[in-house]
Amino acid sequence: MNIGNLTFENKAFLAPMAGITHPVFRWMVREVGGAVGFTEMVSAEGIVRDFERAQKYLEPFPGEKPFAVQLFGADPGAVAAAAVISVEQGADLIDINMGCPVRKVVKAGAGAALMRDPGKLAALLRKVRAALHCPLTVKIRSGWTAGEILAPDMARIARDSGVDAIIVHPRTVAQGFSGKADWPVIERVKKAVEIPVIGNGDIRTAEDALRMMDETGCEGIMVGRGVLGNPWIFSAIRGAIGGGSAMIVPTPAEREAVVCSHLDRNIRFFGERDGIKDFYRHLSWYTKGMRGCAALRKQVLGEENHEEVRDAIHRFFALTQRDRPPEDEHPDASSG
Ligand SMILES: Cc1cc2nc3c(=O)[nH]c(=O)nc-3n(C[C@H](O)[C@H](O)[C@H](O)COP(=O)(O)O)c2cc1C
């Protein structure tokens, strides 16, 4: 699919997730699943006011191309300036967050607050568009409440302001992250605009991805929580879209190699202590449902030594392979 002048071989994207989609995780997902990921939302004001501090959020992994950065902010001038700085740092695509429901963000007039202020929404997007040559996308929610569905109108405003594609997470602000994503809203957005639409919400398997594309007509899909512990979901989606296998189950050796590579890169990027600390959550996701995972977590919790963690992982996978028949060794690929 094309977004502006960029062509994406894979129609599936890794969703921006604060605290999760840092360079190493995007690197793992790109390598294992071939999907382009977005940075977590980065404060435009933060970039403009204190670049030194914000810079770490604009770091790509080695060779990350295209590099997609998500920004949030309320002030059109600040968001436009931050977008230009992001491009100077290597960004190839800028996404503006217009769906974050976190109170602090909304109170500041950013994220989901923009949904209720169409004039400001248009002014902000036009200002950013005028400052940028690279593709520009927006990520929106369905609306404020079930009775206040705003996504199709927002999408039209975004299109008229020069946005190249719309990403729709069809939950309302009132829903937060609970309840079901309302996929028919993605279809309504697709019918409202001709530019590409990327659907997001509740994709846990390759079949879900195909079904979303089929039911809504969206050109691309985006996966958030379904990728946690399961970067293979993107290979499965790519296979399924190409008419091939929708089920990719890594062997224990493949899983171990990915887990160890993730650990090593985390340590290279964040240092030994912080790298292991951040990795701990991912280790839990990678091994969820596997026999001995609780004991492994216990061994690694609070551990600050790279070799100790590596050894614990190696022992865990060695036992897994010795004790269990191959078909029982994998966690439910959809459990994320
Ligand atoms: C921990 C977490 C952090 C998130 N951070 C962001 C963010 O920074 N920017 C954003 O647009 N959405 C963010 N989201 C929302 C996701 O991008 C996605 O829209 C949502 O999780 C629905 O997709 P899913 O059902 O595939 O998880 C976050 C979600 C989670 C669970």
Give the CATH number for residue 305. Answer: 1.10.1200.80
Indicate if 173 and 92 belong to the same structural domain. yes
Q: Measuring CA to CA, how many Å separate 301 from each of 33, 290, 312?
A: 28, 17, 11
The range of the structural domain enclosing residue 315 comes to: 252-328
Question: Which token pair is 94?
Answer: 């800028």
CA 254 from chain centre, in angstroms, equals 23
Question: Which token pair is 290?
Answer: 């596997």
Of all helices (H) and strands (E), which one includes residue 136?
strand 136-145
Indicate if 47 and 150 belong to the same structural domain. yes
Instruction: Divide the 336 residues of the chain into consecutive groups of 10 and give the mean pLDDT of each group.
Output: 95 97 98 97 97 94 98 98 97 98 96 95 98 98 97 98 98 95 98 98 97 98 98 95 82 95 97 97 96 95 95 94 54 40
Whole-number pLDDT of residue 328? 46
Indicate if 13 and 35 belong to the same structural domain. yes
d(CA 256, CA 313): 8
Indicate if 225 and 271 belong to the same structural domain. no
For tokens 């061994």, the residue is 299
Whether ligand 1 lies within 6 angstroms of the CB of 233 is answered as no
| Bridge-based pairing state of the strands 2-3 and 6-7 | antiparallel
Ligand 1, atom 13, residue with closest C-alpha: 17
Indicate if 317 and 229 belong to the same structural domain. no
Residue 34 neighbours by CB under 8 Å, 6+ apart: 9, 10, 234, 235, 238
Indicate if 189 and 314 belong to the same structural domain. no
| Size of the chain in residues | 336
Last residue of a domain, one of 241, 270, 293: 241
Pocket mutation for ligand 1, best pick of 43, 167, 177 (most atoms within 8 Å of C-beta): 177
Q: How far is the centre of ligand 1, averaged over its atoms, from the C-alpha of 319 (Å)?
A: 35
Ligand 1, atom 20, residue with closest C-alpha: 224
Indicate if 237 and 256 belong to the same structural domain. no
How many domains, in total, are found in the chain? 2
Residue 96 neighbours by CB under 8 Å, 6+ apart: 70, 71, 72, 79, 124, 125, 128, 136, 137, 138, 139
Whole-number pLDDT of residue 336? 34
d(CA 91, CA 87): 4
Whole-number pLDDT of residue 86? 97
Whether ligand 1 lies within 6 angstroms of the CB of 142 is answered as no
- Does residue 302 come out as left (phi exceeding 0), alpha (psi in the -120 to 50 range) or beta? left
Pocket mutation for ligand 1, best pick of 169, 205, 285 (most atoms within 8 Å of C-beta): 169
Whole-number pLDDT of residue 335? 38
Could you say which of 100, 218, 260, 293 is catalytic? 100
For tokens 């639409």, the residue is 197
Whether ligand 1 lies within 6 angstroms of the CB of 170 is answered as no
d(CA 333, CA 288): 10
Indicate if 188 and 319 belong to the same structural domain. no
Catalytic: 100? yes
Pocket mutation for ligand 1, best pick of 17, 171, 180, 185 (most atoms within 8 Å of C-beta): 17
Residue 322 neighbours by CB under 8 Å, 6+ apart: none
Whether ligand 1 lies within 6 angstroms of the CB of 102 is answered as no
In sequence order, what are the beta bridge partners of 72?
43
> Is 141 part of any domain?
yes
Q: How far is the centre of ligand 1, averaged over its atoms, from the C-alpha of 227 (Å)?
A: 11
Q: How far is the centre of ligand 1, averaged over its atoms, from the C-alpha of 296 (Å)?
A: 28
> Is 334 part of any domain?
no
Indicate if 17 and 112 belong to the same structural domain. yes
| Bridge-based pairing state of the strands 136-145 and 93-98 | parallel
User: Which CATH number belongs to the domain containing residue 52 in this structure?
Assistant: 3.20.20.70
> Is 333 part of any domain?
no
> Is 336 part of any domain?
no
Indicate if 91 and 123 belong to the same structural domain. yes
